[in-house]
Structure 1
Amino acid sequence: MMTHLMASKRVWIGMMFLALLLSASLSYPLYEKHLPQPDRFLYNEKQELIAKAPYTPLQAPPFGSDRLGVPLLYKILEGAKYTIGFAIFVSVFRIIFGAATGILLSMYAKRLKGITKGISQSFYNIPTIFMAYILIVPVYITLGINDPVPPTQWIIILFQLSVAVGVALPALTVFIMNEVDEHSKQEYIISAQLMGGSKWYIIRTHIRLFLKDKLFILFMQHVVQSMILFAHLGLLQCFIGGTRDVEMDFGEYKSVSLTSEWSGLIGIDRYEYNLAPWIVLGPMFAFAITIFFLNLIAAGVKDAMEKRVIVITKSIKQPKTPYKKHEAFQFAAASVQSKTADS
């Protein structure tokens, strides 16, 4: 499969985009001090006031700026590592816990499968975003202007990410459990069980190979789902990492995201859409283009899997039986009569 993956243009394009974006985001603190400092007022060469923040995309290309004069490109680059990193973190642990729990229930705890399915079905009627919001809000951080970032911030972030992992586990566990149950009906697995193969041997030899490709596709899908969950939390004013109040004009305060995570940029400034739509459209464009490339990678992986199946199918050929050209069939009595007539 690796050969087909390396030959897939979709996978290459998607991985290159993510690598460039994450590299620019991770190195952002190194060149941040060399960037022009944001200013809420824009002057021309004659020191005449020509504009006031927020600046349009023409005045501060390519995405414009926010009300503080900070170019949105800087914020998008700063928050990319958190947005994509948090989504990958959530997806990895969803797959690990979901796969482990689903396999264990299918192979070792068959009596609990009915209970697990019942619990999972009850979660279908409750939107995931509501469960995540209810669990995250009690430990949310909101800092004042001069409040230092508490040392427990990363503990709270880990709790928020753990909630994002947990809300999707019931459905994912049941899905993997059903896949393992269905695959366990294959003849070669039944034969392995009859020949004395242990459950751990079947998991290690057969189930692992069967789930390997499916889990990678699920991983890519859950990265996208995690980003969408963050966006929904942002619209509910619940941001990963918390917020800080920043003073504006005449004692007016505005909340800003502590991590510049993209869902925070969208949620905080959603009321600015009528006045300066680019403030919201910039992070939304970053979300959309990143999700597009993630889906592009997933499509490339699916194509590689299908090509591998085709190659394996073509390589399995039926053994050819050698063909001998036989003489025309004759009755023994007819042959004897012909010899008698000749004599």
Structure 2
Amino acid sequence: MNKTLLAGLIITAFMLLASLFGHYVAPHDLNESAQVSYSGGELTVPPLPPSKEYPLGTDKYGYDILAKLLAGSKYTIYVAFAVAFTRMALGGAIGLLLGYFGQPKTARRERAPIWNMLNGIPVFVIVWMIMIGITMNPAASAPAMALILAVVLTAIGIPSVAGTMREKTAIIREKQFVTSAHSIGAGPWRILRKHVFPHMKESLLILFVQEIVLILGLFGQLAILNVFVGGTKELKDPVEYLSRTNEWSGLVGQSRDYLFTYQWVLFMPLAAYVVFILGFHLISIGLEKHYRKTFAKVSQL
């Protein structure tokens, strides 16, 4: 039994089910706020720590953190899925075509200096430079802002996916079964469809899962710079940055000042965010183990 893959699938399935149906069992509504109360000589003021009434506690405005996590999960989960799928669809198709029809690389063919320079810039910095001017108090709706960020992340990630798929396709193109199919008259599109692509399916699936992990990591890096999925609400006096969608990386980013006070405000969304990434990481490792075992060649006497 592949315990790593099973653990990853269980974690991911739980998170998906929680995002779809969790609001039906949530103890509090997203817009319900705990009020200041005085009882038994004790004054109770938000943020409230985890308790029976508020399992994950509340933020400083009295809103239930569990309700916020459930509401924001759709943006964290489905935007990451959408970006990864689009990257794989477009980048994978481009990589297949370049790898099969392109010319082999030679030692003299080097990338232009400008490309080397751009590769030295972290991706999240490029995305931040594009998004920072439009993400603060935007006029557009939260879904529209999430779509804009998804388009930017997709466009920036396509070359990387295409490059990876090109290298894998170029290797398969030189295999004997592809050469044999070509020698008996099979056309290039038939070879791609019947011979090359079927041998890429496992790699595509693993790469898709790895892309989700990468995108979730980018969400977290952008959140440190106050760029949240769905847009950022900027408050004045004192300056404060809030996620408009309550997506998980945004909740982490806006709560990092609570590291030494009211730790649950930071650690609860951070735990959900890290566990979700861990689930996909385990799936990736589990798939690699599964395919390595499935396709392992055992010598026989």
Q: For the superposition of Structure 1 and Structure 2, which TM-score range results when normalised by the shorter chain?
A: 0.7 to 0.9
Distance 1:158 1:110, change over 3 A: farther
**Structure 1 stretch 111-120 or stretch 263-272: which is displaced more?**
111-120
In the alignment, residue 27 of structure 1 is paired with which amino acid?
F
Q: Structure 2 residue aligned with 1:176, among 165, 169, 175? A: 165
SS of the aligned residue for 1:168 comes to helix
- The alpha-carbon distance between structure 1 residues 197 and 121, as it changes in their structure 2 partners (threshold 3 A), is farther
Q: How many residues align?
A: 298
The alpha carbon displacement at 1:296 in A equals 1.7
Find the aligned partners of 1:282 and 1:86 in 2 and give their Cα distance.
21
Q: Say which of 118, 140, 144 aligns to 2:135.
A: 140
Q: What SS class does the counterpart of residue 268 from structure 2 fall into?
A: helix
The residue aligned with 1:277 is 263
Share of identical aligned residues, percent? Answer: 26
**RMSD (Å) for aligned C-alpha atoms:** 3.1
Match of 2:202 in 1: 213
Question: Structure 1 residues 24 and 116, CA, compared in 2 at 3 Å: closer, same or farther?
Answer: farther
Tell me the secondary structure at the aligned position of residue 294 of structure 1.
helix
Once the 2 structures are TM-superposed, how far is the Cα of residue 116 of structure 1 from its aligned partner?
Answer: 9.8
**1:259 aligned to which of 236, 240, 245:** 245
* Partner of residue 268, structure 1: 254
Q: Secondary structure at the match of 1:69?
A: coil
Say whether residues 1:198 and 2:187 are aligned partners. yes
Q: Distance in 1 between matches of 2:81 and 2:50?
A: 30
TM-aligned CA deviation for residue 109 of structure 1: 4.2
Question: Which shows bigger deviation, 252-261 or 30-39?
Answer: 30-39
What does 1:9-24 correspond to in 2, within 5 Å? 9-24=3-18
Hey, what does 2:60 align to over in structure 1?
A: 67
- Distance in 1, matches of 2:25 and 2:5, equals 30
Q: Is residue 84 of structure 1 aligned with residue 77 of structure 2?
A: yes
Task: Please state whether the residue corresponding to 1:170 is helix, strand or coil.
Answer: helix
Does the CA contact (< 8 Å) of 1:28 and 1:77 recur in 2? yes
Q: Please tell me whether the aligned partners of residues 105 and 112 of structure 1 are also in contact (alpha carbons under 8 angstroms).
A: no
Structure 2 equivalent of residue 296 of structure 1: 282
Tell me the residue number matched to 1:326: none
CA contact (8 A) 2:79 2:146 kept: no
User: Post-superposition shift, 1:290?
Assistant: 1.0
Shift of 1:180: 1.0
The one-letter code of the counterpart of 2:211 is H
Q: Which amino acid aligns with 1:39?
A: A
- AA paired with 1:69? G
Q: Which residue of 2 aligns with 1:38?
A: 33
Q: Aligned partner of 2:270: which letter? A: M
Q: State the shift of 1:14 in Å.
A: 2.7
Larger Rg: 1
Distance 1:120 1:205, change over 3 A: farther
- The answer (yes or no) to whether the contact 2:88–2:208 under 8 Å persists in 1 is yes
Aligned with 2:200: secondary structure? helix
CA–CA distance in structure 1, aligned partners of residues 239 and 23 of structure 2: 26
Alpha-carbon distance in 2 for matches of 1:192, 1:139: 52
Structure 2 unaligned runs (5+)?
none
Q: 1:120 and 1:169 mapped to 2: Cα distance? A: 15
Counterpart code for 2:49:
T
Give 1:102's aligned residue: 95
Q: Distance in 1 between matches of 2:58 and 2:115?
A: 44
Is 1:64–1:278's contact at 8 Å kept on the other side of the alignment?
yes
